[in-house]
Amino acid sequence: MTLFGIWELKKLALRNLTRHKVKTILTLAAIMVSVALYIVLNSWLGGMAIQSRRNIVNFEIGAAKLQTRLYFERKDEMPSYETFLDWEIFHEALYREGYVSAPRFVFSGTLFSQSGSAPILFHGINPAAEKEVLRYAQYVDFGRFVQDGNFEIALGTVAAERLRVGIPTRPLRLELEELIASVARSQAEADFIRSLYDITPSVRRGGDIFSTEERIVEGNERMILGRNASQADLDRYWNIIAASGRNDVRINAIIDIKAAPEMIRRHRWENELWPALRPEDRVLVAAAYVYEDFMDAYHLVEQDERQLNLILDAMIRAEYAGAIRHVNQLMDVVVVGVINSPAPLPNGNTAFIPLDVLQDRAGMMLEGGVTELIIRERGVPDSRLPGQSESSAVITAALELGLASMGRTLPDELAVFVWQDYMQDYLGYEALQTGAPQVVAGLLLFLSFLVISCTILLAILERTKEIGMMRALGMTDRQMIMLYMLEAGFLGFIGSVLGIILGCIINYPLVKYGIDFSAMGDLMDGGIGFRTTAIFRSMWNVPIIIGAGIAATLLSSFMAFLPTRRAVKKPITDSLRFE
């Protein structure tokens, strides 16, 4: 019998599993549960990771952004002064080469409503172009998405609830009555609004904690916006609220713009600016300013716009604060829609406002500048994550080609950065979140292999005499080891098959239906967590499922190696005498 002829002993290996049925069943159960848990955890976390990545690409960033290199370096500070002009040219160049893009001016500020205020991340957007790249505009729960030329914004649900604008979905009864009192112009409107809500009574136990007496807490009842309310009802409700002025809000933002200072005090020149400038920039700056004794300050004398831009870049590089002018801006707008998308970021403390209003009519001195152009390959399905065709190098090459066809070139200060460049925090979180449970599941899997090892060890101890007899009959050491590895491999294989079946049974509803986490929406405010809201779905990761089965079988088999090798080192006569 050859080494591989050991397969002929499969019957013996399988029969050995029947010697102690309870022990075999317990060992199989340990493998089954571990394999199932490993498969479910992997599929679940894999599903969330894929869904999150899709949401980042489809609802937050697109595949890539065109930005100035300086903006990217300081992206955490959102330097609104780092803008670029003529986005339409880049948009057209990209379109010619098969990419869609959308301009944005991103800034932070505070939004005030009649009821409160909230810090908001504002996105000045071109609605038509934005819809080409991102999908959140399709998820306007109430009202509509913003339109060009109007002083209006769309808010995330979190911000809307915080500012108490739009239609409240789960107010307390007293809060709803206050709303009705402030927005309803007639009893009919008041009754109409009340009719849209279902009441969930607020019940409190009376007396001490042992009391069974229950009482209704007046006014504290939770009102739930009826699921059956028609779109026409909701539109009417929205219009009643809008007509009351409750949706009118005020933006307060400080917009930073770059401007070469007209005058620089000598002590700032000497202590802050001059030491921080690069030697080659000092010549440039020194030529643009003249010292005046009577003011004890340097005055700007350079008029040439190109030179002034170079001076500004030098000052920005030197991080000279005097080159940034902070302009406080106030703007009154109306909330026209509330966004509730499958991704948390657009639903959070986020607002979308037409870019043309910011550029032309709001007097924000943006002068046509945008902070970024978000990019996606034209016509790709939303389910597809960016691949090679949406890498930085390929998009840059396409952009350069498109610009060349228009007789233009890509300015040095602009570069294409892919979505991963902005999502390092998230990707780190994802690796941690998907890695840690896998380590735990892996440990559990390893523990089940230790159980197998113990099972085989006990079997070998119990069958010492039998091993001696088999060796006396002519089995070689290798054949003995292979026989027990085969036995452990069968254990692993059967346990894995059962584990795969159990894992698939558990995973099936998680893939088909998922778990609804929408109640946790507030907690997932587009931070660094998984970028999905509402329903989390698992996925089918076939390589992982098959791999787990193969790995469990091979590892189980391997677990028999050491104990068996030890057993065959024992002299045959000692084995035969063993009691």
Return the residue of 4, 18, 293, 328 that touches another protein, per CB under 8 A.
18
35, 160, 225, 475: which one contacts another protein (CB under 8 A)?
Answer: 475
Structure tokens at 94: 């990209």
Residue 25: which residues within 8 A CB-CB, separation 6 or more? none
Q: What one-letter code names the amino acid at 570?
A: K
Q: Which of 270, 477, 513, 516 binds another protein (CB under 8 A)?
A: 477
Q: Residue 525 and residue 272: Cα distance in Å, rounded?
A: 39
Residues 150, 327, 248, CA angle at the centre, nearest 5°?
A: 35
**Which listed residue (473, 512, 519, 542) binds another protein by CB under 8 A?**
473
Task: Select the residue interacting with another protein from 115, 147, 239, 573 (CB under 8 A).
Answer: 573
Per-residue burial over 415-438, b if 16 or more Cβ lie within 10 Å, else e, is bbbbbbbbbeebbebbeebbeebb
Other CB atoms within a 10 A radius of the CB of residue 29 amount to 15
Q: Interface with another protein includes 566 (CB under 8 A)? A: no
We find the least distance from the C-beta atom of residue 495 to another protein, in angstroms, to be 20
Site string for another protein, 19-48 (x = CB under 8 A): x-----------------------------
* 361-380 binders of another protein (CB under 8 A): none
Alpha carbon distance 460, 446 (integer Å):
21
Burial of 300 (0-12, 13-18, 19+ CB in 10 A): middle
Q: Name the segment binding another protein (CB under 8 A); options: 53-61, 328-336, 432-440, 567-575.
A: 567-575
Task: Using the minimum distance from each CB to another protein, give the nearer residue, 469 or 510.
Answer: 469
Site for another protein in 248-287 (CB under 8 A): none
Q: What burial class does residue 294 get, using C-beta atoms within 10 Å of its C-beta: 0-12 exposed, 13-18 middle, 19+ buried?
A: exposed
CB of 478: closest distance to another protein in angstroms? 8
Alpha helices in 83-172 (DSSP H): 87-96, 127-133, 157-163
Pattern 426-465, another protein, x by CB under 8 A? ---------------------------------------x
474 binds another protein (CB under 8 A): yes
The yes or no reply on residue 472 touching another protein (CB under 8 A) is yes
- Contacting another protein (CB under 8 A), which of 11, 21, 227, 306? 11
> Should residue 12 be labelled a site residue for another protein when binding is judged by CB under 8 A?
yes
Residues in the chain: 579
| DSSP-H helix ranges across 335-476 | 344-347, 355-356, 392-405, 419-422, 424-462, 464-472
Residue whose token pair is 């302009």: 327
CA dist 345 and 59 (Å) reads 8
Task: Look up residue 379 and give its two tokens.
Answer: 């016509």
Q: Pick from 119, 201, 411, 571: which binds another protein (CB under 8 A)?
A: 571
Q: Is residue 482 involved in binding another protein (CB under 8 A)?
A: no
CB of 477 to another protein, least distance (A): 6
| 476 is an interface residue for another protein by CB under 8 A | yes
Binding segment for another protein (CB under 8 A), chosen from 3-11, 70-78, 210-218, 366-374, is 3-11
In this chain, which of 313, 466, 522, 525 binds another protein, going by CB under 8 A? 466
Residues contributing to the site for another protein (CB under 8 A): 1-2, 5, 8-9, 11-12, 15-16, 18-19, 465-466, 468-469, 471-479, 571-573, 576
